[in-house]
A = this chain, B = another copy of it.
Amino acid sequence: MKTAVYRKEHFNAAHRLYNPNWSFEENEAYFGKCNNPNFHGHNYELIVKVIGETDPATGYVVDMKWLSKLIKEKVLVKFDHKNLNLDTEEFATLNPTAENIARIIWELLRSDIDAKYDLKVLLYETDRNYVEYPCE
């Protein structure tokens, strides 16, 4: 039977939610306060879940120090203390909703984690709103 390991990290970022193909009024009606043209921001809590077999030699699924370092190098350097809309290529044209941020983080990490492991990303935008990707 497999085991899941979870590693929690965090980053702080500014963002604005809007669809550039919609009018300002349409964006205001749909996204409300999140459409503020001058941005707002969040403390994002990021949880990365890796599922696989425990290695009998180490007792680890994967080394959490390695996983933490990977998240820092592939995700946090891009997003921490940044404006997601203005400072990142990933969200230059993609709306930085929690759903999209979680999927992008999954894509940033997937190729560095051996294919024998399953990977999931949980992202807390606030303690009342959070997402998980992928979810069957």
Give the interface of A toward B (CB within 8 A). Answer: 1-10, 12-15, 17, 19, 30, 32-34, 36, 38-43, 51, 54, 57-61, 63-65, 80-83, 86-87, 94-100, 102-103, 126-136
Contacts and interface: CB of A to CB of B under 8 A. Distances in A.
A68 B83 CA distance: 25
B58 A103 contact: no
Given A2-B134, A5-B98, A10-B126, 6 more contacts: A1-B135, A2-B136, A9-B128, A12-B41, A14-B38, A58-B97
A3 B81 contact: no
Contact of A12 (B4, B42, B99): B42
B3 A59 contact: no
